[in-house]
Amino acid sequence: MNDDQAPKEAKTLNWLSSEKTETADKPIDIGVSAIQDGYLLHGVNIIFTLDNQSMVFKENNDRKIIKGTGVLGKVSVEIISTDSTPCQGNVYACLEDDTQIEASPLQVEFTAAPQSVAVLNLDLEKNNAWINSPDENKVVATVYDRLGNGIKNQEITFYADSGATVVPSSGMTDKEGKITASIQSSSAGEVMLMAQAGAIEKAIAMCFTYNPYQLKIIKFPAVLYSFSSGIIAGYLYKNGVGEPNVTIGVSMGSYLSLSDQDKNMTTDKNGYFSFRVSSSYTRGYSPHNHVHPMNESASVYISCIDGRVYSQRWIELTPGLY
């Protein structure tokens, strides 16, 4: 029997690697070699198939692909997770002209990919804050991954131009991928806020304006004795003109009280308001025990326009004799 008449060994397909694992945001590269009689087979078509609908071949975006071996008898393909989510499955390979010749199933797995910032959004929640005041503009920054999911515990840094201040200058996002920055300025005009998350930067413009209001207190008791009362009065001006029909809020420290009729006061047509405050402070001295009276200070906080305009004063409380 000559060499031409000798029986040929069966063709075999062999994987070039064992089972493969990769994060779901990256492709898995696999390959097979076709061998017969110890020789690598060139130009042999191999059918690759996948058994998991969440996986496809990158080249044709399908779960089946046919590719021919190269000069070294090898061929490789890339597999991707269709929605970049974790999944597991098997890859099958067989000869196109003899499907009985096949490689054993190869297991591949996509694991959860670490979240990385794909999108950074800045939303101006509050604008046109007043300068030189506690008033502030607010910006909500949100980071998303490539699937549109908010990223928790992502650090975002902030910077504002024109001398404006930002709080916080950096911070971590919440479970929805959000963090709020508060911006204050001592100069009127436009301010740009820059935010950076990972390699992504974004900017948003906002405005700061002058405070058109002035809360002017014209009457205020410096001292109140036990069970005495005093009048507090003032004007609210807007651009120098008395502002009518504005609710005035009052909060006070210990031992001070406000009459019921003054708890819901508004400015009159000239911007004027007044209310009476009473003291219940009674810590005095006893002439028999030679204990001297003890004075104490209590605050009166007057505010309006959603708390953006305010004035705080202090009254000295002095006990009467008893």
Q: What are the tens digits of pLDDT across the range 218-274? A: 999 999 988 899 999 999 999 999 999 999 999 998 889 988 888 889 999 999 999
The SS3 of residue 31 is strand
Burial letters 88-125, b for 16+ CB under 10 A, else e: ebebbbbbeeeeebbbeebebbbeebebebebbebebe
The pTM for the full model equals 0.59
pLDDT band for position 322 (50/70/90)? Answer: very low
pLDDT tens digits along 123-168: 999 999 999 888 999 999 999 998 889 999 999 999 999 999 999 9
Domains 8-111 and 213-318 share a fold: yes
**CATH of the domain spanning 213-318:** 2.60.40.10
Q: At the top level of CATH, which class does the domain 119-209 belong to?
A: mainly beta
Cα–Cα distance for residue pair 317/278, rounded to 1 Å = 10
Structural domain 8-111, CATH architecture: Sandwich (2.60)
- The residues facing 310 across adjacent strands are 303
Start-to-end C-alpha separation, the chain: 136
- Rounded to an integer, the average pLDDT of 197-208 is 96
DSSP state at residue 293: P
Higher pLDDT, 290 or 61: 61
What pLDDT does 6 receive? 44
The residues, any chain, with a CB within 8 Å of residue 188's CB and separated by 6 or more, are 131, 208, 209, 210
Cα–Cα distance for residue pair 204/120, rounded to 1 Å = 12
Domain boundaries, the chain: 8-111, 119-209, 213-318
Q: Is the peptide bond before 168 cis (omega within 30 degrees of 0)?
A: yes
Mean pLDDT of the chain: 91
Taking Cα atoms as reference points, which of 64, 66, 55 lies closest to residue 22?
55
